[in-house]
Amino acid sequence: MQEPVSDSERFSFFRESIGCISASLDMDQVLKRLLVSMQDRIPMNRLVLIYFDYPKNCFKRLGYASLMHETFNTFPEYLHIEQGAEYVEEAFKRTESAIVIEDPERDLLAGEYVRHAGTADDSFMAITLMLDGERIGALIAVTSGRHLFTSSHQDLFSLLKEPMALALSNTLRYQEVLHLKEQYRYEKHELTKKMGSAVEGSVIGEEGGLGPVMASVRKVAPLDSSVLLLGETGVGKEVIANAVHALSPRSASPFIKIDCGTIPETLIESELFGHEKGAFTGAGERKPGSLELADGGTVFLDEIGELSLTAQVKLLRLLQHREIVRVGGHKVIALDLRIVCATHRNLQEMVRKGTFREDLWYRLNVFPIGIPPLRERRQDIPALVAHLIRKKAREMNLGTAPFPNNFELSELASYDWPGNIRELENILERWLILGCGSVSFRSLLNPSDGAGKEASSLLSVFDRVTTPDQVLPLATIDRRYIESALKACNHVVGGKEGAAVRLGLPRTTLRSRMEKLGIHRRR
């Protein structure tokens, strides 16, 4: 007869086991410790932790330890079970306390194991691990030989039921976190790659009017200092912010742009700093903010002058301590960020009026870079025109892009450009839409004078496009305009009076464009 296990023995077994279970998140390590600590009380030489993956109908090994000299891990990593959940219900309902399996061939799971390991003499002792009423897995002790496990061993082994269930649940959650982290890192990397290629080679003017700006960029980019970009709207502040990031050691990490001017004041804090679940109406889930997503990289705060005073306080905390707290939360999150800001506003004036915090202004104004307006660097216009026409022609699927002649370039160079490069970009797009040679830049730049009126009445059609559903596909505009041009030219394509000349296109280009757009020429 077997002696019953005394209470003090149970207690010391339990205490030692808890020590082993809580020592590590690595289940192989935990099982190894348990095996060593329990071997003089339970005659086992292997311990396995498995859980049943219901959607995949298979057992997965989460941990394994052995005292044998094994050249391979005898318990398979995945064990597909045809009978699926039915088997799990059946096999584990018996195991309120530990069960002993002496004839493994007759048990589905143990049978699979002995077939895999080639050890028909092994016997098993198992406990089902349950959490919140759900079977989540099993802890299995294996020994070489039969009839070695007694009721006292079952009694002791059953004490591991609850702590091991908790450890298993924690491990599964921990693995999920690791998986999500990996997924997030991958997505971040892919996004960064895409952004990198979009930025590549796009700073035009480094050899000309942007020379001093780019010299400053090259000096500050390798450091972690904050950069403040100052300049009128459309001068290329975002292009320069991109260059700071691309030339910095953070270039392989994210570059996240936050346009403080377009996010509603009520959402700006949660957009920047993230929020905890239930922080405000509509905050259904916890959400990290853009600053957290940029961790390790650069954050570009465009239109910084538009930030509310509350958001300014939080931003100051980030700049001082490199940490944030999500809206509705208490946890302090440390971030490693480089800050680049931009504004077209006079921040010093705002400080004087009390709408911008002075302490924040000092923190941001570490390395200001002023970007000159286009009218002060007219020498860059030809290179910008070439770059922007190539870009627009690609977007509009135009094939070979036409280029303005010298006269047209001088018209562009003498204009004042209040809207800077963005305005130049828009004018070039209009020029391409309206058929290049058939419309002069003078008329596009001064739509109210004689020659410009016709073009401007056409353009007003485009200017009326203010909502997404008024936007027409460019192919439709192209088709309609070419059809009108053909009509106006009596359907003559080539020759001096033909539509091709009027549209400023080679005859063959117009023909292939008509073919592509399904325009049939009337004779």
* Residue selected from 29, 37, 150, 233 as contacting ligand ATP according to rule CB under 6 A: 233
235 binding ligand ATP? (CB under 6 A): yes
Residue among 188 and 338 whose Cβ is closer to ligand ATP: 338
Q: Among 167-175, 185-193, 226-234, 464-472, which window interacts with ligand ATP (CB under 6 A)?
A: 226-234
CB of 503 closer than 8 Å to CB of 435: yes
238 binding ligand ATP? (CB under 6 A): yes
Q: Among 40-48, 185-193, 198-206, 514-522, which window interacts with ligand ATP (CB under 6 A)?
A: 198-206
CB within 8 Å of 153: residues ≥ 6 apart? 41, 42, 43, 98, 125
DSSP 328-349: T---EEE---EEEEEESS-HHH
Cα separation values, 168 from 13, 95, 117, 519, Å? 20, 17, 24, 68
Main-chain dihedrals φ then ψ at residue 464, nearest 5 degrees: -75, -10
SS3 502: helix
Separation CA 141–CA 40 (nearest Å):
14
> Which residues ranging from 455 to 514 are in contact with ligand ATP (CB under 6 A)?
none
Amino acid found at 244: V
Separation CA 144–CA 186 (nearest Å):
45
Q: How far is the CB of 209 from ligand ATP (least distance, A)?
A: 9
* Residue selected from 236, 254, 373, 447 as contacting ligand ATP according to rule CB under 6 A: 236
What x-and-dash track marks residues 416-445 binding ligand ATP by CB under 6 A?
-----xx--x--------------------
Q: Among 139-147, 230-238, 426-434, 450-458, which window interacts with ligand ATP (CB under 6 A)?
A: 230-238
Q: Among 96-104, 203-211, 244-252, 309-317, which window interacts with ligand ATP (CB under 6 A)?
A: 203-211
Q: Measuring CA to CA, which residue among 443, 373, 375 is closest to residue 413?
A: 375
382 binding ligand ATP? (CB under 6 A): no
CB within 8 Å of 348: residues ≥ 6 apart? 361
Rounded to the nearest angstrom, the gap between the alpha carbon of residue 150 and the centroid of all alpha carbons in its chain is 56
62 binding ligand ATP? (CB under 6 A): no
Whose CB is nearest to ligand ATP?
236
Residue among 344 and 375 whose Cβ is closer to ligand ATP: 344
What x-and-dash track marks residues 75-114 binding ligand ATP by CB under 6 A?
----------------------------------------
Residue among 231 and 447 whose Cβ is closer to ligand ATP: 231
Residue among 462 and 481 whose Cβ is closer to ligand ATP: 462
CB of 56 closer than 8 Å to CB of 88: no
Q: How far is the CB of 387 from ligand ATP (least distance, A)?
A: 6
Q: How far is the CB of 412 from ligand ATP (least distance, A)?
A: 15
Q: Which residue carries 């059609």 as its tokens? A: 461
For 116-142, b/e burial (b = at least 16 CB within 10 A) is: ebeeeebbbbbbbbbeeeebbbbbbbb
Q: Among 50-58, 112-120, 236-244, 276-284, which window interacts with ligand ATP (CB under 6 A)?
A: 236-244
Separation CA 277–CA 504 (nearest Å):
59
Residue among 220 and 424 whose Cβ is closer to ligand ATP: 424
* Residue selected from 204, 299, 360, 428 as contacting ligand ATP according to rule CB under 6 A: 204
CB of 430 closer than 8 Å to CB of 462: yes
Looking only at the bridges linking them, the beta strands covering 368-370 and 227-230 are parallel
Binding interface with ligand ATP (CB under 6 A): 202-205, 210, 231, 233-239, 302, 344, 387, 421-422, 425
